[in-house]
Amino acid sequence: MADFITDRGFNTAPIYVTDLERCQPADRLSPDGGFRRWHTIPYEAEGFSGVMLKAGPETRAPEVRYPLSVAGWYAISVGIHPTSEEGLPQALVKLSGDDTYSVLTWDTGGHHLRRKQLQEIFWKVADLNGQAVDFCQLARRIDPGDGFGSVQCGGVRIAYIKLMPLTPAEVESLHAEQRGGAHRRLFAHNDSHGPHFLYRPTSPEELRREIEAYRDTDFSRMYWESGSGDVLHYPTKIGRTPDIPNITEFARVGDRLVAESWRSYLKAGLDPFVIALEHTHAIGLEFHAAYRLAGWTYPPPLDHNFRGGYYQNHPELRCIDRDGKQLPRLSYAFREIQDYCLALLCEMAEYPIDGICLLFNRRPPYIAYETPLLEAFAAAHGSDPRELAETDPMWLEFRGGVMTAFMRRVREEMDAISREQGRSRRIEVSACVLGLEEENRYFGLNVATWAREGLIDVLIPYSPAPLAMPTEEDTWSNPLQLEPFAQATRNTACLLAPNVMPRHQSPEDFRRNAHMLYGAGADRLFFWDCAGPGGRANYQPMWNALRRLGHREEIAEWVHAGEPALGAWTKPLLALGDWDMTVIAPG
């Protein structure tokens, strides 16, 4: 099966659409540029020439449409000039028949080199009968007003559209692959906070575009965060929503954008959770509600988002360390906290979700040395656990039993709701846990017991880095690191889906790491924080490799062939306007 990422495997020559001055309506284009006008700039590249569309950080360029005059199936790429103008290096593109834009992102690193080249971004494969291509500048609204200062835009220079015709055999192969779905082994995560923090969305379309990139990929499910502590990402009857009233000063501009975005949706009677759920299902993925069990508060100044909430109102339910000091966590040793969490999970399950996911990978502990634990341990063992070592096996086993009892309650509640709703498949339970066996044991996460008892359907170890020194570069470097989790799920119905880190890797490294993880026992691969310019679903070369990482056999063949390079496509830029780009000096 051709991967549709490069010209390899195609028998026909590509079509370069370079006369972008033909975009409509014509009054939104100008050879001189200007506010709300795309600047048309002639250019010459190696092998072709044309007119590119340019929009600067203050242009606020509106939607324009290029009328394609082709029929049939094509692999579509977009050529851009990756300048380093301020703002997010992103642009919106869609076919006229699509209801949602895709967000293209490009790399502006190595500015002086990149200004002399065009960068090609593979987008997707589609039937272009009767289709046009729409472009728009991506705007980040930073103020509700409509003045120049209310919007931030990234610089955009769109040079061409590349169309690679597919043969009938290639089209049939593509359709057969999509019908089969055996390769759909990838799970995506979106914290559902980033879109509001970055862009202040107010419409359904702006949220749908966060999900659109997963259409026709190897991803089979979306883990969409439904909340953290008592702040829920849907109109809850139990907790609070992120609109945060009565705050006049926010720690970050993005925090204000989150609150304003949510106020806008709620005022319009829109539920962002439903918008995300419906579009996820519409493109053929499962939708799982993910919840941060320990996200009750955050260090100052970010604690303003949680003031006056459940954490602040219930100091008696906080974790206590062995010296009697309160910790900034609420403890699942208390029945009240378990009941509150279960009520939230049941509220989420009122939506037509496919599963829930408990995010244990952020902000432990979940229990420590609270009075109920001390009393129960003394009754069972006749001693005070504070007199034992912190890693005493008997004490760790006891705390693990408390968390396992909570997980049994979660499983029972989800099964009961599944029966009440008459579901043909039960609501799945996933657990995203820490990446080191000893840390899971220390914090009471007996994952082997959960898998063996059928309490979880998917086990997601986050990263093999110690909590004391985590970095964004942490990765599974050898099969032995995954072995404790492979052993925990072996001969059970629980799938193993390790999180693949770091977020950004070369296409080759993504394939190498996927090959190693599959060989070490992974059934699926999980990708934390996929969305946004700092995420993964960005249409850069790494995404073109990542979105096909469910093709185990294709990856194995690539490894066997000696790991040939999967490099990005670039074209030398020879002239831009009156400038000879071959001799221009760095400035």
Q: Looking at residue 122, which CATH number applies to its domain?
A: 2.60.120
Is there a domain that residue 560 lies in? no
Query: Looking at residue 97, what is its pLDDT?
Result: 93
- The model carries a pTM of 0.93
Query: Looking at residue 472, what is its pLDDT?
Result: 63
Same domain, 143 and 195: no
Same domain, 153 and 210: no
533 has pLDDT over 50 = yes
Same domain, 341 and 268: yes
Helices marked H in 52-136 — which ranges? 111-114
Query: Looking at residue 18, what is its pLDDT?
Result: 97
Same domain, 227 and 362: yes
CA 179 to CA 443: how far, in whole Å? 43
The pLDDT tens digits for 334-364 are 999 999 999 999 999 999 999 999 999 999 9
The pLDDT tens digits for 487-501 are 999 999 999 999 999
Is there a domain that residue 279 lies in? yes
Same domain, 317 and 434: yes
Query: In sequence order, which residues have a C-beta less than 8 Å from that of residue 248 and are 6 or more positions away?
Result: none
In angstroms, what CA-CA distances link 135 with 38, 85, 283?
10, 18, 22
Is there a domain that residue 347 lies in? yes
Same domain, 73 and 192: no
Query: Looking at residue 142, what is its pLDDT?
Result: 59
In angstroms, what CA-CA distances link 477 with 435, 555, 572?
12, 18, 37
Same domain, 294 and 358: yes
Is there a domain that residue 196 lies in? yes
Is there a domain that residue 391 lies in? yes
Is there a domain that residue 532 lies in? yes
Same domain, 119 and 265: no
Mean per-residue pLDDT, 457-468? 88
Query: Looking at residue 179, what is its pLDDT?
Result: 85
Same domain, 158 and 190: no
Read off the DSSP letter of residue 430.
Answer: E
The pLDDT tens digits for 57-88 are 888 899 999 999 999 999 999 999 987 666 66
Ranges of beta strands (E only) in 401-468 are 428-433, 458-461
| Confidence band of 3 (pLDDT split at 50, 70, 90) | very low
CATH number at residue 374: 3.20.20.80
Mean per-residue pLDDT, 430-440? 96
Give 416 or 308, the one with higher predicted confidence: 416
368 has pLDDT over 80 = yes
In angstroms, what CA-CA distances link 567 with 5, 102, 541, 570?
10, 22, 7, 9
300 upstream amide cis, omega within 30 of 0: no
Helices marked H in 421-478 — which ranges? 437-442, 447-452
Domain region containing 101: 15-174+569-580
Is there a domain that residue 418 lies in? yes
Average pLDDT, the chain: 91
Same domain, 573 and 537: no
Mean per-residue pLDDT, 575-584? 86
Same domain, 314 and 252: yes
Is there a domain that residue 556 lies in? no
Name the domain count of the chain.
Answer: 2
Which residues is 291 bridged to in the sheet?
Answer: 227, 358
Same domain, 416 and 277: yes
